[in-house]
Amino acid sequence: MPDSTKAVLMTKNWYCPNCSTTHQSQGPKVATHACAAFNGLQLPMFLEGSGGYHKPVYREDYIGPDLVADEVRTGHGKIVSAVSQEYPDGSNGLVVIMPCAVINTEAMGR
């Protein structure tokens, strides 16, 4: 007699509309990948058939001495501060990219 107490894990097919990466997984986690179209930023993938896309949000404030990683710069020198996942039904998700601030301890007298 088969064991009917075990949960059945469905295989999920994931894709990236920007760089054509695909992935299969099981379980509740969202698949992510280093997207080549976004200079290697770690972005979530979309479930096959969802019809979603990634929309970059550019940083518009003064940069100053912040350490900005190369992977968050576009080919035009713009800095990506977040990437929104947009879906056809109007829902979305957001990946925020936090900058690294620089503290001048000499100016603070330390």
Q: What is the pLDDT of residues 3-61, one digit of tens each?
A: 667 777 789 999 999 999 999 999 888 999 999 988 888 999 999 999 999 999 888 76
Domain of 90 in residue numbering reads as 11-96
Is there a domain that residue 103 lies in?
no
Is there a domain that residue 104 lies in?
no
Is there a domain that residue 1 lies in?
no
Within the chain, strands assigned E span 11-15, 22-26, 32-35, 41-44, 46-47, 53-58, 80-86, 92-96
Q: Give the per-residue pLDDT at 110.
A: 57
Q: Give the per-residue pLDDT at 75.
A: 61
Q: What is the total count of domains within the chain?
A: 1
Is there a domain that residue 20 lies in?
yes
Is there a domain that residue 5 lies in?
no
Is there a domain that residue 86 lies in?
yes
Is there a domain that residue 77 lies in?
yes
Rounded to two decimals, what is the model's pTM?
Answer: 0.72
For the chain, the maximum distance between any two Cα atoms, rounded to a whole number of angstroms, is 75
